[in-house]
Amino acid sequence: MRQRPGIALVLCAPSGAGKTTLSRRLLDDFPAFAFSVSCTTRDPRPGEVDGRDYAFLSKESFITLREAGHFAEWAEVHGNFYGTPLAATLETLASGRDLLFDIDVQGAKQLKETLPQAYFVFILPPSKAVLERRLRGRGSESEESVAKRMANAGREIAQAVWFDALVINDSLDEAYADLVAAYRAATLSPGRRPDIVTEFITEWE
Ligand code: 5GP
């Protein structure tokens, strides 16, 4: 069988759209997927493990790495820095392993330049009203935080037009089926399968 390069699948969504649930399910169902472990300057939350969930860094270390060109993309989210290490990403993909990215929209925009073969999926809530209801339903968000997340969501959703696939998360099972279909589509796209293209072109030359 051909050895294909790993697929870089990038998931973006406004807060409350269900990105974490969908990405966990994909990682559980497809053991060939690795999770892209980002660097962050925020403190670990209970249960988070350094090196598995994030590489937790001081602000100084993050800035030193950033200046040295360590990141494929980076962004400041809610006052903390987040970044995707470039070399580790390329190594994993070259080894044939698929890689799932959970990053914000500003970072995804940069990744489109630095990792053009990545496949970008935007997860949308079914409506503004439903997103607001879900955020309130968490019970953990203050009124101020809900308003801030809703304003951010509007800015993020405006970027959804340039993504490769849109997944509307109304029913979780249907959204998950669409996400798996987007992943399959990525594995069938010529730009992401240089192995197939090279083989056939060489044969017909
Ligand atoms: P949290 O702190 O809740 O884990 O993540 C906050 C936000 O940062 C989420 O939207 C998440 O997708 C985003 N994020 C996590 N890692 C990265 C990264 O490496 N780069 C960028 N640009 N965003 C990230």
What is the bridge-based pairing of β-strands 33-35 and 98-102? parallel
Among the listed residues 197, 194, 199, 169, the one whose alpha carbon sits nearest the alpha carbon of residue 182 = 169
User: Measuring from atom 11 of ligand 1, which residue has the nearest CA?
Assistant: 103
Q: Which H or E element spans position 168?
A: strand 165-168
Which tokens go with 84? 């995707």
The atom number, within ligand 1, closest to the CA of 19 reads 12
Which pLDDT score is estimated for 103?
97
CA of 184 to the centre of ligand 1 (A): 25
Which pLDDT score is estimated for 141?
82
Taking phi first (over 0 means left), then psi (-120 to 50 degrees means alpha), and beta for anything else, what does residue 168 get? beta
Q: What is the pLDDT of residues 59-107, one digit of tens each?
A: 999 999 999 999 999 999 989 999 999 999 999 999 999 999 999 999 9
Q: For the CA atoms of the chain, what is the radius of gyration?
A: 18
- Which residues line the pocket of ligand 1, CB cutoff 6 A? 38, 42, 73, 75, 77, 82-84, 102-104, 106-107
Report the C-alpha dihedral over residues 189, 192, 197, 199, rounded to 10 degrees. Answer: -130
What is the bridge-based pairing of β-strands 119-124 and 33-35? unpaired
Out of 12, 39, 102, 152, mutate this one to test ligand 1's pocket (max ligand atoms within 8 Å of CB): namely: 102
The atom number, within ligand 1, closest to the CA of 80 reads 2
Per-residue pLDDT, averaged over 147-174, amounts to 96
Which tokens go with 182? 């987007």
The atom number, within ligand 1, closest to the CA of 36 reads 19
In degrees and rounded to multiples of 5, residue 84 shows phi and psi of -100, 120
